[in-house]
Amino acid sequence: MTDSGDVAQQRLAAIVGHERIRAAGEQDAIDGIRPRWIVEPKDAAGVAKTLACANESAMHVVARGSGAMVGWGAPPRSLDFILSTTRLNRVVEHAAADMTATVQAGATIESFQLALAAQNQRLALDPLWPDRSTIGGILATNDSGSLRGGFGTLRDLLIGITIALPDGTLARSGGKVVKNVAGYDLQKLMIGSFGTLAVIVEATFRLHPLPLACRNLQCSTPGDRLERLAPALNELSLLLTSAQIMMDGSSSMKLALRVESVPEAIEDKCRRICRAMEALGIQPRDVATEAWGAREELFDLPDATVCRLALLASFWPELHVMLERWKTQQNVCGQLVAQAAGGGFLALSGPNGSIVKVISELRQKLASLGGSAVVLKSPRSVKEQLDVWGAAGDSIALMKRIKAQFDENNVLAPGRFVGGI
């Protein structure tokens, strides 16, 4: 930091107000790295001015909403303050007739969905912890959830974005209508960038109607059915809104299916799905919605290492065999929650050294198939033994050039992203 602590604090306080900058506590540390302050700008302009101040004073910043996912990524190399977006929590505009809405980055998913529901609309995503996760948080970490099978990912639903750059510039990309695709590349860059390029302050989404009817089906299936299950789910993709598999290395797995439609059609859809499952020897039954909270339960497992996987359903049978082998040979218990549309979460519990070996083996296999495994949550001793991101790949040189263009002085979240960016 170029400025002394007192001078820097005074400059920040002049921007956000003395009551909106406070000393950070132990609970604000990120992987043991404790910031000096928590700074809370009130609007987009305040965020931009705060970043400009940090840039001029050579301070290092991590943006945070509710903090639900702030522990994801590598530890920051340095951290002077956390820029909190909690005051940016309004729905700016809901154009119900156009089925679009603009919302500030600090709004929680739940509050945004409640506002949209007043017009019988929704953002067709179900990310982790909707009562805590913020708009900026899910964009920065690219957390779409199981509804991606029916409605696409964040990249498909985001149509406009406003960001604050480290030099104090506010930049806008896209628009407020679905057909506007200007600035599409900038939006894609921000999704999944973990706050290393800019701070997201506002986003515009395309919306979908609330479903008129919804059914949840669940069933158990032996491991030997997985070979036929993946192609069957692919054939049923137009009937299904979501499909999720849960396995733990035992001989039996759970399958959860969500079907949404108009009341006149939903019974027919469910009958067709059930017939296809019964042909595989699987008997679905109606259940409540508990299965869709299985991802959150993985993060509640004590001392577990949780990875986010990019994998196709065709890899489920092989992964099932690997889970069984890790349990018997490595004393590592694995629990997987994965979506048929691609992606999933794997929790690993056991000796730390064995977990590191298991993740290395899994990454090698997934890399050969075009997939990946990123460590999101783990004991510090596990993070110290591996790179949470895995191999950076051939794109790292380009990623570093992009980082240099957006954040020349490395103000934002230094070291948190792939390849130490």
168 DSSP 8-state letter: S
Burial (CB count within 10 angstroms: exposed 0-12, middle 13-18, buried 19+), residue 397: exposed
Domains of the chain: 1-210+392-421 (3.30.465.10), 213-290 (3.30.70.1150), 294-383 (3.30.70.260)
Q: What is the predicted pLDDT for the residue at 2?
A: 58
What's the angle, vertex CA 391, arms to CA 388 and CA 393, rounded to 5? 140
Q: How many CA atoms lie within 13 A of 249 on its CB side?
A: 18
Q: What is the predicted pLDDT for the residue at 126?
A: 93
Residue type, 337: V
Q: How many CA atoms lie within 13 A of 67 on its CB side?
A: 9
Written as six digits, the tokens of 182 are 């200007």
The residues with which 260 forms a beta bridge, in sequence order, are 214
pLDDT tens digits, residue range 225-244?
888 998 999 999 999 999 99
Give me the helices (H) in 247-348, please.
263-278, 294-299, 316-325
Q: What is the predicted pLDDT for the residue at 184?
A: 42
Q: How far apart are CA 151 and CA 174, in angstroms?
A: 20
Q: What is the predicted pLDDT for the residue at 378?
A: 93
Written as six digits, the tokens of 109 are 């998913």
Q: How far apart are CA 295 and CA 244, in angstroms?
A: 10
Residue 109 clears pLDDT 50, i.e. is over it: yes
Residue 179 clears pLDDT 80, i.e. is over it: no
Written as six digits, the tokens of 290 are 């508990």
The pTM (predicted TM-score) of the whole model is 0.93
Q: Is 63 helix (H, G, I), strand (E, B) or coil?
A: strand
| 160, 102 Cβ separation under 8 angstroms | yes
